[in-house]
């Protein structure tokens, strides 16, 4: 194997959280920045109690929607499979390596009562001490161990941690880190049911899959010294570590689905594009070397540098995501945009109006897809509105000015034939009105837009809306609005 090899190793326990998706993205970018890099998907399902039906399919679908194509994985195969931990376990792989680690003095059989150990843990932590359990099983003779196993006594395999000294490692984000071994607890590596814990399986699998760069969240930082002790016991190469800062809801709380924060699927359901979501989360903890903020995945791949990952938590800003999503929508070709928003338009507007023309006025203004129905609700049903809306300081309009403008507009537009009713002709007619009335453009066009839409804010101006409504409906609404002002 040559080149960089990274992996995304999610547990199928529900929806794709934003922090998990960012880890997948960074792992992808680290691999793909290298022309020979390989990005691997591995499903870590050893924690059987937390598995959620259908969650693996959500992982596949999310990766597909975001364009994060893996080179090796459960669904595409590869030279170091299986890529699902429960399938790897069937061959006795983890038991084999756990027993080998015992031979290398990196682990030991433990027959202790877990409840007693947990009680001791709680007592020490209550005193403000780091938990350190000097397991008496470490000092059993081989004969005593075999006798226990032969008797059917339940056991786990637990890691050996030196009681003294330090363990050090280098991280691409945080630099050189040294930890006192006395602060590290001897974690279980293999449970009594034969399943490996994450702390063991991820090390074995990363080695066997040739992983060169491990990208993960900072919550795993405290466990990294223990992983390194396992690598060192086996005399395996230690990968390059890239620990990423947490994605925060605010200055004090991590973003968490458990607390009701949005997952990737939630954001898509709210009308955000997968590409825009991916673009935004790339910036949560990473800073580009230029002022550019809107990136395609290819552009991110070229620009990404782990040295520009920050060390502090990045706060998730929905407004920034909305802005980036709006830019993505406006950067689409009109044909692609129309195809994308067509279902949203059809939900809101009857087929007597042009979808293409409505899409054209939406594109410069809608920042999310879910905004569209409310923006278009006036087309089918002319809403009731207050004459107070005509009073606008910015446009320099009053009810009296509006009445004058609408009467003139009704007269001029009545003279436009059905065959000539199009945006170009309407522009010519409406733009001639302000000069003829000795008014500013806004004093005429603002009242017309309000009079034909019934809304203060609309996608498109008076000309575009009148073009879409058609002559008969435009004149009907103008007439109703004039009558309302006269009352």
Q: Which residues are catalytic?
A: 257
| CA-closest candidate to residue 6, choices 279, 214, 171 | 214
| DSSP codes joined into one string, 144-208 | HHHHHHHTT---EEEE---SSSEEEEEETTTEEEEEEGGG----EEE-TTSPBPHHHHHHHHHHH
Q: 412 to each of 128, 231, 428, how far by Cα in Å?
A: 83, 83, 11
Residue 171's DSSP bridge partners are: 175, 241
Asked if 7 contacts 81 with a C-beta cutoff of 8 angstroms, the reply is: no
Find the helix or strand (DSSP H, E) in which 32 lies: helix 18-32
CA 315 and chain centroid, separation: 13
Q: What would the DSSP string read from start to end of 119-132?
A: HHHHHHHHTTPPP-
For every residue of 220-242, DSSP letters joined together read GGGGHHHHHHHHHHHTPPPPEEE
Cβ-contact 204, 276 below 8 angstroms = no
């Amino acid at each position: 194997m040559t080149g960089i090899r990274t992996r995304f190793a999610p547990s199928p326990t529900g929806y794709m959280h934003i922090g998990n998706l960012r880890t997948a993205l960074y792992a992808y970018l680290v691999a793909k920045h290298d022309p020979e890099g390989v990005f691997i998907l591995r499903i870590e399902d050893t924690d059987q109690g937390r598995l959620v039906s259908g969650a693996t399919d959500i992982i596949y679908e999310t990766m597909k929607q975001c364009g994060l194509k893996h080179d090796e994985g459960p669904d595409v195969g590869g030279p170091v499979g299986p890529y699902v931990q429960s399938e790897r376990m069937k061959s006795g792989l983890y038991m084999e390596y756990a027993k080998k680690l015992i031979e290398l003095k990196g682990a030991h059989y433990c027959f202790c009562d877990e409840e007693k150990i947990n009680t001791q843990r709680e007592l020490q932590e209550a005193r403000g001490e780091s938990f350190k359990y000097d397991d008496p099983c470490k000092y059993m003779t081989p004969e005593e161990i075999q006798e226990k196993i032969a008797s059917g006594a339940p056991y786990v395999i637990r890691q050996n941690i030196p009681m003294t000294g330090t363990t050090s490692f280098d991280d691409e984000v945080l630099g050189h880190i040294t930890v006192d071994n006395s602060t590290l607890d001897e974690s279980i590596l293999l449970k009594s049911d034969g399943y490996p814990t994450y702390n063991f399986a991820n090390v074995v699998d990363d080695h066997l899959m040739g992983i060169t760069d491990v990208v993960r969240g900072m919550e795993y930082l405290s466990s990294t010294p223990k992983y390194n002790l396992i690598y060192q016991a086996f005399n395996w190469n230690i990968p390059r570590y890239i620990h990423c800062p947490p994605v925060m809801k605010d200055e004090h709380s991590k973003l968490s689905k458990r607390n009701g924060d949005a997952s990737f699927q939630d954001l898509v359901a709210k009308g955000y594009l997968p590409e825009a979501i991916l673009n935004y989360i790339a910036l949560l903890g990473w800073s580009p070397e230029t002022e550019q903020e809107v990136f395609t995945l290819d552009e991110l791949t070229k620009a990404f540098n782990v040295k520009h990952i920050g060390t502090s938590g990045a706060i998730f800003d929905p407004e920034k995501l909305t802005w980036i999503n709006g830019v993505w929508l406006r950067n689409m070709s009109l044909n692609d945009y129309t195809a994308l928003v067509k279902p949203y338009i059809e939900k809101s507007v009857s087929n007597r109006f042009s979808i293409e023309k409505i899409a054209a006025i939406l594109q410069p203004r809608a920042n999310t897809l879910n905004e569209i129905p409310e923006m278009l609700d006036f087309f089918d049903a002319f809403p009731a509105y207050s004459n107070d809306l005509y009073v606008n300081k910015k446009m320099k309009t009053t009810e009296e000015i509006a009445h004058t403008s609408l009467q003139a507009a009704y007269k001029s537009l009545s003279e436009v034939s059905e065959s000539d009713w199009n945006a170009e002709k309407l522009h010519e007619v409406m733009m001639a009105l302000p000069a003829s009335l000795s008014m500013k453009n806004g004093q005429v066009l603002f009242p017309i837009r309000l009079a034909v839409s019934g809304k203060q804010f609309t996608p498109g101006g008076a000309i575009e809306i009148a073009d879409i409504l058609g002559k008969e409906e435009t004149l009907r609404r103008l007439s109703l609005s004039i009558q309302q002002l006269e009352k």
